[in-house]
Amino acid sequence: MTQVNIQKLDDKAIIPTYGSPYAAGADLYACMDGTLTVGPGETALVHTGIALELPVGYAGLIYARSGLASKRGLAPANKVGVVDCDYRGEVMVALHNHSQIPQSVEPGERIAQLVITPYLSVQFVETDLLTQTDRGTGGFGSTGRK
């Protein structure tokens, strides 16, 4: 198992936890002194009170928690947040309220999930011709159609 060092930046911070033995995402928790209300169509930056030391070649991807998004309309504003392996600042989640009513976030509430994943750094090389495929230039919604 890969180790990820975590620093608590606030005594109230909660270390991310996995909800089951095979969960891909670890829950991130709100770290704040009081309730935060996010109005309809608004976005609020929610502190977690933690910083990470991800191994080189890995990134932390911040995704919505399915229940929070589907039941209350709260999901990361940028859809998927990215924590780079050289970032050492506080992990924060920009929660957007997609619902029509104000939503409250409580201290210690699970607000998002963090998936640690390897990535490739590549060198982009300009060329005049790309290899041909059956799909070709078919874009959005083009696969599965005849």
| Series of mean pLDDT values for 10-residue runs along the chain (146 residues) | 96 98 97 98 98 97 96 96 98 98 98 98 96 86 67
Name the CATH superfamily for 5-118. Answer: Deoxyuridine triphosphatase (dUTPase) (2.70.40.10)
- Structural domain boundaries of the chain? 5-118
Residue 54's contacts (CB-CB under 8 Å, 6 or more residues apart) are 4, 60, 83, 84, 85, 87, 116
pLDDT of residue 145: 60
What is the torsional sign of CA 4, 20, 45, 118?
positive
pLDDT of residue 138: 80
pLDDT of residue 54: 98
Q: Give the residue from 55, 38, 28 showing the smallest Cα distance to 98.
A: 38
Residue 107 · residue 35 · CB < 8 Å? yes
> Which pTM value belongs to this model?
0.90
Tally of CB atoms within 10 A around 122: 6
pLDDT of residue 56: 96
